[in-house]
A = this chain, B = another copy of it.
Amino acid sequence: MRARDLAVDFPTATLDTPALEAAKLLAEQDLPGLILVDPDGRPLSILPGTQVLRLAVPAYCQDDPALARVVDEAHADLFLRRLGGRTVRECLPEQPKELPVADMKATVLELAALMARTRSPLVAVVDGDRLVGAVTLQSLLDHVLEL
C-alpha cells in the first residue's frame, strides 16, 4: 500500500481564495485543513483549520485572553466581518515549516512519519510536482487499523 492508493481528491485553495470561503469549506466538509496550490496546481502549503481563526480574532485579543473575554459575545458576528475581503494569504503561519508533501510511492510508514514530524493530519500527494490528492490521518488510521 502506497500513497497513490490511499490518496483521495481533496479540496484546494489558492493564496487568493477569500478567507471566508476557506472557512466555509473547512466547516461544511469537516476538513482538518486545506491544501494550498499555486496557479499551476503545485502544492504550496497546508493551511491548518485553526489558522483561519487567526484572521477572525482582532490582534489585540490574540495574545491576551482577558481582552477576548471582555468583547461582548453579541459581537460574534464581528468574526464574519473581519474575515470579509481578506484572503488565505493572510492566514498562513509566518514561518513556513517542512511541508507535509509525499510522492505517490511513499509507504504507509513514510506517511505516518511525515504526519508525526510535521504534526499535520493531512499530507498532499504529488506526481512530480503536481498535486494528485491527499492522505488524511483518518484514512491512514483506518487503513492500518483495518477498519
Contact = CB atoms under 8 A, between A and B. Distances in A.
A144 B76 contact: yes
Interface in A118-147: 118-121, 137-138, 140-145, 147
How many copies are assembled? Answer: 2
Interface residues of A, number: 57
B57 A113 contact: yes
A116 B56 CA distance: 10
A107 B71 contact: yes
Interface SS of A by simple majority: helix
Contact of A144 (B56, B65, B116, B117): B56
A51 interface: yes
A54 interface: yes
A23 interface: yes
